[in-house]
Amino acid sequence: MLRVGLTGGIGSGKSTVAKLLVERGAVVIDADKLAREVLEPGTEGLAEVVRAFGADVLNADGSLDRAALAAKAFASEEARQTLNGITHPRIGALTGQRMAEAPEDAIVVHDIPLLVERDMAAVYHLVIVVYADAGTRLERLVTSRGMGRQDAENRIAAQATDEQRRAVADVWLDNTGEVPDVSALWDRLVGFEKNVRTASYASGSPVVVPYDDTWPAQAQRIARRISLAAGGRHVEHIGSTSVPGLAAKDVLDFQLAVDDMDSADSLREALGQAGFPYVGPYVDTPRGEGDWSKRLHAGADPGRRVNLHLRVEGAANWRWATGFRDWLRSDAAAREEYAALKLELSERFAADADGFAYGEAKEPWMVAAAARVEAYRGGQAS
């Protein structure tokens, strides 16, 4: 199944977006609803809350007085952590149960307010952040939910900042004014789910575009997913998108450190389930002596092209990829020269569907660059 994290500040309108996705066929798991379930009358969770916060958090009928609990729990960081320690493990167990019950081809949207605070972004194939400015959120909480202004302000202050949410957002939906249109997003999710289920990668012929200053943040998010799926192995952002200021095809390239090709093959299923299906065994174009073998995976997300190269850390092709990147980062003249070549070849081979002609035409420059990269490495070593 496709696992999608949906988050945003309280009052941002996550529920509105979740409803729109449900109407299109998503299976939504609402963390707030699960939080209510684990604190229903008669549950051990509610009993523990009473022991921690006192019997005055209960209504006369024995149910939880949520306003009374919120007033205590959000009054300090210590109190908030106490409540989280009671509810989060129980919510997590119930979430796992609901996910296991979803169909294999489901698009499961996990509506979770504290995704950022709990550092959970990497466990999802994609993270959607619903945004509304603080003033709009405060007004919604006070007028629509009947919340006291101070209580609403405390809740907003206790959550992640907009900057922290933006750092994990693969998709940023502004819900300050008009309700966002999720049609294109849904098409992306449908394609993504199918690719994950069928072990297919996103295809197409990307063209060279000006440098995008969001590439580093995108790469950081994806690298964390790759590393998590690979058991914490080292990941490097390489290729043209890793060089600030360099025009590039809008494809993020990574290399994942492995001990040998057998260990690379052992990661095939885990990487595929994480959204990076196997493409095949390859040998990189040699730029000198050494081992140039690798395993290639690619991203399944139609909205974000990714190439993932599994290489032995420290092998010739690993050192070439990092050396070439670092040389271009350090040499402005070489960077401009390479950018001009890429743009010219991109225009010349615009009809090149598979990219082979583009790559062959670039090869003479790459051959000449090998000596320059070695000279750069030698200078760094000395």
Residue 290: strand, helix, or coil: coil
Does pLDDT of 373 surpass 90? yes
First vs last C-alpha separation in the chain: 51
Per-residue pLDDT at 353: 63
Amino acid at 154: N
What is the pTM (predicted TM-score) of this model? 0.89
> What does residue 260 show for φ and ψ, rounded to 5 degrees?
-165, 180
In contact, 202 and 11? CB cutoff 8 Å: no
Confidence of residue 331 (pLDDT cuts 50, 70, 90): very high
- 313's enclosing H/E stretch is none
Confidence of residue 20 (pLDDT cuts 50, 70, 90): very high
Say how many C-beta atoms besides its own lie within 10 A of residue 49's C-beta: 23
Confidence of residue 154 (pLDDT cuts 50, 70, 90): confident
Confidence of residue 30 (pLDDT cuts 50, 70, 90): very high
Does pLDDT of 226 surpass 90? yes
Confidence of residue 8 (pLDDT cuts 50, 70, 90): very high
Mean pLDDT of 5-23: 94
Mean pLDDT of 353-365: 83
Q: Which two tokens stand for residue 58?
A: 């209960």
In contact, 1 and 103? CB cutoff 8 Å: yes
Per-residue pLDDT at 49: 95
Gap between the Cα atoms of 18 and 243, Å rounded:
37
